[in-house]
């Protein structure tokens, strides 16, 4: 990648979790749509060879009060 950016193939479980935690802080209402989307996208990226490991389990569950 250019300009110090990394490709998706280098995505880690910690980065996925950190992204979700940050989104929970910034836009908590969006989580109802974000979580299932990530849980679908990440296995797809793994099966198609874009990312080398499955990362769907890195998407944390969020408490609903």
| Domain count of the fold of the chain | 1
Sequence-separated (6 or more) residues with CB below 8 Å from residue 46: 52, 53, 54, 55, 56
Residue 64 has pLDDT above 80, yes or no: no
Predicted local confidence at residue 61, as pLDDT: 83
* pLDDT per position as a tens digit, 1-58: 556 677 899 999 999 999 999 999 999 888 989 999 999 999 999 999 999 999 999 9
What three-state secondary structure class fits 4? Answer: coil
Q: Would 54 be classed as within a structural domain?
A: yes
pLDDT higher than threshold 60 for residue 65: no
- Domain contains 52: yes
Say whether pLDDT at 63 is over 90: no
Structural domain includes residue 51: yes
For residue 45, the enclosing domain spans 1-9+28-60
User: Quick check: is 19 in a domain?
Assistant: no
The reply to whether 56 falls in a domain is: yes
pTM for the whole thing? Answer: 0.82
């Amino acid at each position: 990648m250019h300009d110090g950016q990394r490709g998706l193939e280098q995505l880690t479980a910690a980065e996925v979790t950190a992204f979700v935690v940050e989104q929970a802080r910034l836009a908590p209402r969006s989580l109802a749509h974000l979580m299932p989307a990530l849980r679908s996208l990440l296995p797809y990226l793994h099966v198609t060879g874009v990312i080398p490991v499955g990362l769907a389990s890195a998407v944390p569950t969020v408490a609903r009060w």
